[in-house]
Amino acid sequence: MRIGLIAMSGVRVRSPELARLGVTLPQFVSRGRVVASLPSLGLLTVAGLTPPDVEVVYREIAETGPDDPLERFDLVGLSSFTAQIDEAYALADRYRAAGVPVVLGGIHVSLLPDEAAAHADSVVLDGAEGAWPALVADFRAGRLRPRYQGLRARVFEEPWYARPRFDLLRGRPYNRLTVQTSRGCPLNCEFCAASLRITSSFQQKPVERVVAEIRAALAATDEAFFELADDNTFVNKRWGKELLRAIRPLGIRWFTETDVSVAEDLELLDLLAESGCAQVLIGFESPDGAALDGLDPHNWKKARCDRYLEAIDRIQSRGVTVNGCFILGLDGQGPGVFEQVRDFVARSALLEVQITVQTPFPGTPLFERLRREGRLLRERFWERCTLFDVNYRPRGMTVDELESGLRWLFSEIYSEREFTRRKRHYMELVKGRM
Amino acid sequence: VTDAEDLEARVQAAIAGALRRSVPPLSPDDDLVERLGLDSLEGLRLLAAIEKRLAVRFADDRLAELRTLRAIVEAVRAGREGERR
């Protein structure tokens, strides 16, 4: 039996003005390009959950054209971001028309299973752990069911856990590899469409498993730059330090997403630097505390907003850069937010900055609230869930003001002049620590 | 040993010290990012270390051009001459 696992790669911008800016401004959507070029860890995990006597083939959708003949498989598994889900559905429809059964899974499919079911023989909800082995067994027995419920907890425990099949990446030109150390995030921000939506609680992988995965990935690819595919790696500082001490001897360089509280633990910061951490991505969301009100259920981010600048300096002075993320169009933001963000970035000297539009991904509390309030611009807009396209009526400004403000902020922050200034600030911070 | 050779050797030593690992022999026109497998952040840290060690400051608008030993040596020399004036 031969199973094809096909990843939908690529992140794009629908707005032609922003697409043009992307060509002319350094750094713009650089993070998006990185994300788009990462292998699908979800599908590699599915491969790891597949019985060893089944042949598994990993493919990227970018490897084939839309009119190329379909590669022959006995069963196809597809997973996609929301923005490309319609392309995944179209490919699923082609395979099914050719008589090849299709399974769909991932976060979007888990949140909208009825929509996905129209394009699949079976859908997997939440984690593949606890679902995929049974699905394969049922398929072999000729009794594939239309829906399989995966685990929302204990995904890293025996007998559910399986090491991702990094060996499937052998010979492929990735410059970054992904390893997951945790799933979910306790902050539970309203807009978040990441793995917390398919987990019932925050889950951490045993440190020895993380190390074994990194070693397996290195053995398969020789690539020494890793992305931790986490939503918030250092929720638990004690576990975090254990992890950092364990990966320190591996000699890798790595990146992860976390929250601003890492700056409160100086030992953790030193370990970050010593273990090869190149950059942490932190969602600051807004420099203005009032705009953060209600963003998460406990106003966790709002309570820490006045410490953002000090936190950035503390982290970057270790040589670990911060990729600061800001969301535009939050309900508490007015037209002044664009200058606020520009000024904050200038003061902070964040080396890298990611600016996105608040995006109501289907299935999130934000989506439900905006729909209740009648503020969604369209009923279905999945292809516009790019993080750069406006899909709702903001509260503190018009749609036009949000779109034009975004373009203005891009040209301010991503200009060569500003990026050079931020590089100089970073170098001075590093020199100050030498 | 000429001044130029001495400066080149000192830049090489600064590079090795900054990276804290053995550095392969470098030719003046080797692309350091490719030759040493640096990511962009390591590149900046390397330049910061050279500035600190050789007591010089590179022109901000030339940072992106400093990718070879030759370019760095010339920038160090230019920085020192700029200070003398």
User: In this predicted model, what pLDDT tens digit does every residue of A373-421 receive, in sequence order?
Assistant: 999 999 999 999 989 999 999 999 999 999 999 999 999 998 888 888 8
Task: Enumerate the H helices of A222-317 as residue ranges.
Answer: 237-247, 266-274, 300-304, 308-316
Q: How far away is chain A from the Cα of B48, in angstroms, using its nearest Cα?
A: 5
**Do A413 and A342 form a contact (C-beta atoms < 8 A)?**
yes
Q: Which chain A residues are closer than 8 Å to B65 by Cβ?
A: none
Task: Using an 8 Å CB-CB cutoff, list residues of chain A that contact chain B.
Answer: 225, 253, 278-279, 319, 321, 351, 420-421, 423-424, 426-428, 430-431, 434
Q: Which chain B residues are closer than 8 Å to A427 by Cβ?
A: 44-45, 47-48, 51
From B39, B52, B60, residue closest to A424, measured CB to CB: B60
Greater confidence (B17 vs A272) lies with A272
Q: Which two tokens stand for residue A398?
A: 């018009």
| CA contacts within 13 A on the Cβ side of B44 | 22
Q: Which of A426, A431, A433 to mutate to test the interface with B (most CBs of B within 10 A)?
A: A431
Q: What average pLDDT does this structure show over A92-102?
A: 97
Residues 6 or more apart in contact with residue A163 via CB below 8 angstroms: A48, A209, A212, A213, A216
For the whole model, what pTM was predicted? 0.87
pLDDT at A25: 47
Average pLDDT, chain A: 91
Residues of chain A above pLDDT 70, percent = 93
pLDDT-derived band at A23, boundaries 50, 70, 90: very low
pLDDT at A366: 98
Instruction: Tell me if A420 and B60 make a contact (CB, 8 A cut-off).
Output: yes
**pLDDT surpasses 90 at B5:** no
Q: Which chain A residues are closer than 8 Å to B42 by Cβ?
A: 253, 278
From A253, A351, A431, residue closest to B39, measured CB to CB: A253
From A278, A420, A434, residue closest to B41, measured CB to CB: A278
pLDDT at A349: 78
Q: Which two tokens stand for residue A137?
A: 């067994």
Instruction: Tell me if A423 and B60 make a contact (CB, 8 A cut-off).
Output: yes
Greater confidence (B46 vs B21) lies with B46
pLDDT at A12: 53
Burial environment of residue A52 by CB neighbours within 10 A (0 to 12, 13 to 18, 19 or more): exposed
From A38-52, A165-179, A379-393, the region with the lowest mean pLDDT: A165-179
pLDDT at B45: 85
pLDDT at A418: 87
Measured distance CA(A39)–CA(A412) in Å, rounded:
32
